Amino acid sequence: MGLLFSKPHKDGDHGNLESGFTKYFKNYEPETKIISEATTHLIELCLEKGDINGANSIISDALKNIDNATINIAVTGESGAGKSSLINALRGVKHEGKDAAEVGVTETTMKVAPYEHPKVKNLTLWELPGIGTLKFPPKDYLEKVNFEKYDFFIIVSATQLTKHELDLAKAIRIRKKNYYLVRSKVDCDLENEKKSKPRSFNRENTLNKIRNYYLDALKENKIDEPQVFLISNFNLSDYDFPVLMDTLVKDLPAEKRLLLSLLNITEAAIQKKYNSAKQTILLKSMLDGFVVACPILSILKVLDKERLKKHLDDYRDLFGVDDKSLMFMAADAQVPVELLKKKLKSPYLLELKEETLEGLLFKYVEKIAIATGGFLATGLYLKKTYYLQLYFLDTVAEDAKVLLQEAYSKK
């Protein structure tokens, strides 16, 4: 990444000014960008004209939209399908935790219940009562649960599709919102199938049989382009949960995508979260302005250090490598938290001497320069704190992958 903007030509040709910005955002697939194509184009137009103030105004509005964006996810279906378990899984909380959605063998939700995500502000999962219960008959269901509030619906089913679920899917589509059908408890189905047919059991055949049943039922009821995801609420990295998360992110407006970077269940999920955070760092750093010379040799001010500490704490929290998360993981693994912490680098970044941090940062910027074709050779530079934030983000993301591998090794 490095130098993102070249110095405008003296003859007034500002064509090079936007090239770094354009190239940077071309590195991301359209469905993973946190600002829309239209917003990117407007910023590029301003940069072509040398209108930095205009570009910053657009960026400022885009960041406000991201900061103020909310996501409301409705989780619905018949009673006993596993709605509460899915909500707890999406929020990354234990079923017996004090803030967990209540899980039980009977219908435990008798009214609409909101659950805020513990790490992602403005993200709320709403557990809706089971459709078809006495208090929520099908004909009044969507009105009673305040249909318009939600960005999309997850319909959870644990056995066979019922008429209520099919009618609900149709009604959601008619009202032009997205729904995703989640078939929960597939781990239980596989276990039962293996016990009943030990000789002929085939995992993939069983999963395909379950999936095809749902797809056929939806198509027979004239529900176009159905999407079915097979999951286990107790083992999110298996089955279709990662695919479900990718689909949800892709279908959201650009400004809401950062909010849905939820769980570190795979390295790919960590990378998506990293890419979203990286784009945000660039946009905010552009608002902070540019310097003409390479900023690496400048001394950090006290205020810079305070800001950097907050950024580092935010990244560690977002990626689940904060002290509280480490304590929970250490308790689960039955190892001392300090032993777990020694495997990571991010908790100790701000303990480094400034000279040591300068050396690490210099090597990091050199690496960026090589990777981006020598953008650092001339022109405008973003401030030193930008490069440090990127270095911190890289370190935290790598720590998250280390913890993921650690969790798998314990299994």
Pairing of strands 113-116, 123-127: antiparallel
Give the CATH number of the domain where residue 233 resides.
3.40.50.300
pLDDT tens digits for range 339-359: 889 999 999 988 888 777 777
Q: Are residues 248 and 270 in the same domain?
A: no
pLDDT at 80 over 70: yes
CA 317 – CA 313 distance, rounded (Å): 6
Q: Are residues 110 and 223 in the same domain?
A: yes
Q: Are residues 245 and 278 in the same domain?
A: no
Q: Are residues 342 and 244 in the same domain?
A: no
Q: Are residues 230 and 272 in the same domain?
A: no
Instruction: Give the least confident one: 72-76, 98-102, 214-218, 397-401.
Output: 98-102
pLDDT of residue 191: 92
Instruction: Give the least confident one: 20-29, 283-292, 314-323, 397-406.
Output: 20-29
To which H or E segment does residue 104 belong? Answer: none
Beta-carbon-side half-sphere exposure of residue 294 (alpha carbons within 13 Å): 13
pLDDT at 379 over 60: no
Give the residue-averaged pLDDT of 387-406: 90
The residues with which 72 forms a beta bridge, in sequence order, are 124
Which of 252, 281, 309 terminates a domain? The answer is: 252
Q: Are residues 112 and 139 in the same domain?
A: yes
For 192-231, b where at least 16 C-beta lie within 10 A, e where not — what string? Answer: ebeeeeeeeeeeeebbeebbeebeebbeeeebeebbbbbb
pLDDT of residue 369: 57
Cβ-based neighbours of 88, under 8 Å, separated by 6 or more: 94, 95, 97, 100, 101, 103, 233
Which residue is associated with the tokens 């991201």? 66
C-beta separation of 321 from 403 below 8 A:
yes
At 246, the pLDDT band (50, 70, 90 cuts) reads confident
Q: Which of 348, 331, 313 is nearest to 407 (CA)?
A: 331
Quick one: three-class SS letters along 312-332? HHHHHHHCCCCHHHHHHHHHH
Question: Is 228 within a domain?
Answer: yes
Question: Please, what is the average pLDDT of the chain?
Answer: 79
Which of 252, 284, 305 terminates a domain? The answer is: 252
3-state secondary structure of 77: strand
Question: Is 324 within a domain?
Answer: yes
Q: Strand ranges (DSSP E) for 17-111? A: 71-77
Q: Are residues 270 and 375 in the same domain?
A: yes
C-beta separation of 265 from 236 below 8 A:
yes
Q: Are residues 323 and 371 in the same domain?
A: yes
**How many domains does the chain divide into?**
2
- Percent of the chain beyond pLDDT 90? 20
pLDDT tens digits for range 146-175: 989 999 999 999 888 888 888 888 888 888
The residues with which 125 forms a beta bridge, in sequence order, are 73, 115
At 20, the pLDDT band (50, 70, 90 cuts) reads low
CA 317 – CA 92 distance, rounded (Å): 13
pLDDT of residue 156: 92
Question: Is 51 within a domain?
Answer: no
pLDDT at 247 over 50: yes
At 392, the pLDDT band (50, 70, 90 cuts) reads very high
3-state secondary structure of 80: coil
pLDDT tens digits for range 296-325: 556 567 667 888 899 999 999 888 899 988
3-state secondary structure of 342: coil
Provide the whole-model pTM: 0.76
- Torsion, CA 279, CA 283, CA 284, CA 290, rounded to 10: 120
Which residue is associated with the tokens 């950090």? 300
At 261, the pLDDT band (50, 70, 90 cuts) reads low
Phi, psi of 58 (to 5 degrees): -65, -45
CA 277 – CA 112 distance, rounded (Å): 32
Domain extent, residue 168, equals 70-252
pLDDT at 366 over 90: no
Torsion-angle region of residue 330: left (phi > 0), alpha (psi -120 to 50) or beta? alpha
Question: Is 179 within a domain?
Answer: yes
pLDDT of residue 102: 66
C-beta separation of 5 from 17 below 8 A:
yes
Tokens of 228: 């079915």
